[in-house]
Structure formats: C-alpha cells, structure tokens
Amino acid sequence: MNTTPRPDFAIVDATPDRFEAALPALVRLLQACVAGGASIGWPQTPDDAAAATFWRACAEAAARGERGFWLALQHVADPASVLGSAQLGLAAMPNGRHRAELMKVMVHPQARRRGLASALLHHAEVQALARGRWLLVLDTLSGSDAERLYARLGWQLCGRIPDYAELADGRMAATTVMHKRLPATA
C-alpha cells in the first residue's frame, strides 16, 4: 500500500476497494469545492449523479494505469474520511513518457490551511518520479489561491489563456498554465 502519513491526515492510493468506500465523500468533496468557487470543470455545482460519474471515470483511468489517483484521508483506515484528492495524468505517447499533468487537486473547504494541498502536491511529485515522469504541467484559474500556491511551491509560469473557463456567474476567466521540472529526488 502506498501511504504518506501526516500528523492529522494520510495520503493513500485510491485503490478500487478504497475508492468505492470513498465515493460518497468524493462526491461531497467535488460539490463543496465547486460551490466554493474552484474552477475544476463545472461552473455550477454538479448533482450527485454527475459527480459520481466523474469520479468513476477517474478511478477507471487509474485502474487502466493512465493516471495516479490519491486521497487525503482524515483517518487512514476510513476511506469515507476524505479531506482532499489529487491526480496525475500520465502522457501516453512515446515522445511524452517523461511528463505528466497534475489534475483535479482538491481540498475540502473545511480542511484548508492545514498543509493538505502542499502534501498532495509533494506526494504527486514523488509518485511522478517513481513513474519516470520528471516534467509536470498543470492549468489553474488565473489569480486564484491555487495559482499562488503552485508558484510558492516552485511551479513556473508558461502563460495565460484568456476566456478559458466559465465561472458560476457566467463570466469567462483566464487559466494559467504552469510547469515544474522535478529534481532527481523529490
């Protein structure tokens, strides 16, 4: 079992059994993050069915080896104690087997400011290196707390794309594209 323990949470692989037990909490995590203004694919909070469909697709991609998928749990033995999640999409084409995309990093609004996002990012970086992936890319809402976090953790600006995502109020917002080269050890 791949587990990173922390003082008040643990980061674990979203294995099939753990995923099924965590699914209701993952649905709530996604809904709370979108309701809180996170730009993670939905301008409006998805209903339970849409959120569950999204998470099932993530778990299926992980089962096929196309991505890493991790949960931050309040209690390592309780998959329903989800506080956050992160994913790493692995480039599949032969010319890109050294890179991956950091995706869908989420921390429940009630669990923020505890170091979970930083821990999830560090865990994803360690796992990327274990998979031979040393160049990571991501996109995030321009001007967001997430963009500032990534910059603090060494992610470099590639550029911004205007009108990339629709917000809850109907306005269009820019996304920031960033990258990070990982050292030989993370």
Q: What is the DSSP letter of 28?
A: H
In a domain, 42, yes or no: yes
Provide the b/e sequence for 72-102 (b: ≥16 CB within 10 Å).
bbbebeebebbbbbbbbbbbeeeeeeebbbb
In a domain, 119, yes or no: yes
In a domain, 186, yes or no: no
In a domain, 24, yes or no: yes
Secondary structure element (H or E) that encloses residue 120, with its range: helix 116-130
Domain that holds residue 136: 3-181
Q: State whether residue 148 is helix, strand or coil.
A: helix
What is the 3-class SS of 167-185, one letter each residue?
CCCCCEEEEEEEEEECCCC
CATH number, domain of 152, equals 3.40.630.30
Query: From first to last of its 186 residues, what are the pLDDT tens digits of the chain?
Result: 465 555 689 999 999 999 999 999 999 999 999 999 888 999 999 999 999 999 999 999 999 999 999 999 999 999 999 999 999 999 999 999 999 999 999 999 999 998 999 999 999 999 999 999 999 999 999 999 999 999 999 999 999 999 999 998 999 999 999 999 999 765
